[in-house]
A and B are shown apart, each in its own frame.
Chain A
């Protein structure tokens, strides 16, 4: 089992969700986050007072998948979250030691 964490541009969520559903990913967790990478922040001006905004709004998607479709999931996210502009985001993949569905007590791959 793998945990795929993707930081993407907020307006790309629907495309990514749809594409992941099509390859059999049955659930995801989405969090509104702020951060920065290579993309610089921007400057806002309020009555002449300039503020540099370093942290830009992004979405953080987490999906837990069977190891054999992790690569496919990464591929699908990359294809659908990509605009080619700076700030498209990043994807991290980590192993999952255990998984458990709280309602039924099912474990590991049955719980995904």
Chain B
């Protein structure tokens, strides 16, 4: 990963020089903007930071002490594996060609990605940087799913599942929405990944939690978190990283990026306050886990809307996220007794779903040129519903088939003994003392 970053930085620096000293002979590189390039390098680093160490800490802080390292290993493995697969063929399959279903293999192993090339989706930054930025989204989406099956999934099965999930869930969805596929062409709005990242990961996680079954001792034993302070630190890194996630999705250093960042920040604040307030009134104490859950719910929910709505809509969306995701994590989950261990569906899945729909409500022509329901365009809400239905169906069905396929070769769960002794020792041979 470090090598990629260094390479992109050099490319970007060179591009900047080329721009500054541009002569008519270099006309095709004139479009590359040093400012946009600089911002997108930073945004790329911010989004990678969301997975390591952000998500790794957020998740590891919520599991029991015997599973902390194994939980971090899942985030780490997602970075290592998905990065290489993204360069090998992921980028090409998502972001080249204009096929409704899938891209091409023209850019496999970055063939044709040169110092001067740009992707049509982002003409002012080097194509290599666009590729790298989008890589970090693929990484965190795959890493998110792991939270649903924390404490019990066999590491080898997780690796096989991750590769398959990236191939058959993430790549198609990302192409359909962002890479010129049929959902984007239909007009479905998803600024930074409400559908592609959060709903897909949440729905996949829900299915995985159902297929793997509940943790041993669920509902009878104390499964309380090892160290929530790690989760608070992780939330802070996710929150700051999200400025790059949503702000960077403008793909340029411009006002739209700033508007997206403001909406993002306000949604996180509103989500944290809402969840905490609900707990305070219902349980007489506002928990720290509740406040960070609300913040992440607000962040996930504003993600699809961030570049399409006015900043004030971020507050409304954040409050809605806090309420709906609280309900999903505390009522829906217990009502149906699925053990989505770290609430990937309750926070990210439900948040991505609600946020995608609310994008159709609050989209503002002044920000993005497209009106939503409150500006008199109910059709956009229907389009958003279409996007949700397709994403949900695809992720649920493909995740289910994939898990059945993987389980034909390797058991998805660790043995009962290994689960009791903890995944750190049983999967990795090390443990916190």
A interface residues with partner B (beta carbon < 8 Å): 44-49, 51-53
Contacts and interface: CB of A to CB of B under 8 A. Distances in A.
B223 A47 contact: no
Contact of B283 (A45, A49, A52): A45
A47 to B, nearest CB: 5
A46 B283 CA distance: 11
B293 A52 contact: no
Nearest to B343: A47
A45 B289 CA distance: 10
B125 to A, nearest CB: 40
Contacts of A44: 224
A45 B287 contact: yes
Contacts of A52: 222
B225 interface: yes
Nearest to A44: B224
Contacts of B333: 48
Contacts of A53: 222, 224
Contacts of B290: 47
Given A46-B225, A51-B223, 16 more contacts: A44-B224, A45-B287, A46-B62, A46-B224, A46-B287, A47-B290, A47-B329, A47-B346, A48-B329, A48-B330, A48-B334, A49-B223, A49-B334, A51-B222, A53-B222, A53-B224
A49 B337 CA distance: 11
Contacts of A49: 223, 334
B331 interface: yes
A45 B293 CA distance: 14
Interface of B: 62, 222-225, 283, 287, 289-290, 293, 329-331, 333-334, 343, 346
B365 to A, nearest CB: 38
A60 to B, nearest CB: 21
A103 to B, nearest CB: 29
Contacts of B225: 46
B274 to A, nearest CB: 14
A18 B221 CA distance: 40
Contacts of A46: 62, 224-225, 287, 289
A49 B333 CA distance: 10
B331 A48 contact: yes
27 contacts: A44-B224, A45-B283, A45-B287, A46-B62, A46-B224, A46-B225, A46-B287, A46-B289, A47-B289, A47-B290, A47-B329, A47-B330, A47-B343, A47-B346, A48-B329, A48-B330, A48-B331, A48-B333, A48-B334, A49-B223, A49-B334, A51-B222, A51-B223, A51-B224, A52-B222, A53-B222, A53-B224
A47 B293 contact: yes
The 7 closest A-B pairs by CB, nearest first: A48-B330, A51-B222, A47-B329, A51-B224, A44-B224, A46-B289, A46-B224
A47 B225 CA distance: 11
A47 B228 CA distance: 12
Nearest to B290: A47
Contacts of B334: 48-49
B309 to A, nearest CB: 28
A21 B329 CA distance: 53
A46 B326 CA distance: 11
A45 B329 CA distance: 12
Nearest to B331: A48
